[in-house]
Each structure stands twice: as C-alpha cells, then as structure tokens.
Amino acid sequence: MDEILEILSKDARVTPEEIAKLIGKSVDSVKKAIKKYEQDGVIVKYKTIVNHELITQEAPRVRALIEVKILPEKDVGFDHVAERIYGFPEVLSCSLVSGSYDLLVIVEGENIQTVANFVASKLSPMEGVRGTATHFLLKQYKEDGQVLKKANDKRKLNISI
C-alpha cells in the first residue's frame, strides 16, 4: 500500500504537512495525492471510532452479524442481491464471504426487536435469500485495529457455588 494511504488508514487526522515530513515528500505532492485518492474513490470516507460503552447518556444500540445464504442470479451472481441488501438503512456492512454462507451482513437497530423485525420482515422474505443466521454482538473489545477502553464498571458479577 502507498505510504500516504497507510498513514491515513491508521490515523485520518494526520495532516498533509505531517505526512510530508514522515515520507520525505513535499506538502503539495502529498495534498495532490490525497485529492486524487479521494476523486478516484480510493479514499472513500474518513472515520472516527466511537466507544459507545463510554457514552452514558446514549441509549445503547444493538448490532448483529447476519450470515445470509443466497441463490446467485444468472449473469450477475451475488451482486444484485447484495445491492438490494446493503441498500437498507439498517445495514452497516455487507461482504461476500467463503464458507457455508455467502454474505456477512452487519446491521444496527435500537434494540433486539428492531433487528429481529428487520430480519423477519425485510431480509428473510427477500427474493434470492435462502437462509439467515443472526448473531447479536454482546460486547466489543476491538474495532478497526483499535482496542477499546473499558468502561469504569466497579460492579462485580455474583458467583454462586
């Protein structure tokens, strides 16, 4: 991967001036490269990783990983069904995977019921979908290579013997 992309993928807040110093290039050449990457769609978005567990005033949202088995369509394969699935606002991520399922879909909802309703009313009945398996995320320890700080929870689990 290009040095500029590697630096930005680790920390999108690094300035072109800092990148230029790190790689020994001019600031103008770094700015031009970044602009070209953005125009070409190589850089799609700059992202902030938020540790939702530490935001106490926020109502917790529910995320689920859904394995989806689909029937590929003639001439378009998996792409057409995948496009219909990732078009839903609940869908955060959609990837073609190897294994016993075809797509791995990550969805988010207000609670378990909203995610279950999405699967039952929108995803499962969709033409081309042959089956789903839903896994709810219970706790997240690391995201995009970043270890998430633990919430300061002094409560201890009750253990009975």
With a CB cutoff of 8 Å and minimum separation 6, the contacts of 88 are 107, 118, 122, 123
User: What are the two backbone dihedrals, phi and then psi, of residue 130, each rounded to the nearest 5 degrees?
Assistant: -100, -15
Residue ranges per structural domain of the chain: 3-40, 57-138
Return the pLDDT at 160.
Answer: 59
Return the pLDDT at 50.
Answer: 77
Return the pLDDT at 16.
Answer: 94
CB distance 122 to 27 below 8 Å:
no
Q: Is 123 exposed, middle or buried (0-12, 13-18, 19+ CB in 10 A)?
A: buried
How far, CA to CA in Å, does 15 sit from each of 18, 27, 64, 70, 83? 5, 9, 35, 43, 35
Return the pLDDT at 161.
Answer: 58
Residue with the two structure tokens 């088995």: 69
Extract the residue ranges of the chain whose pLDDT is less than 70: 58, 151-161
Return the pLDDT at 97.
Answer: 97
Return the pLDDT at 159.
Answer: 61
Q: Write out the two tokens for 121.
A: 């009313």
Which CATH class, in words, describes the domain spanning 57-138?
alpha beta
Return the pLDDT at 69.
Answer: 97
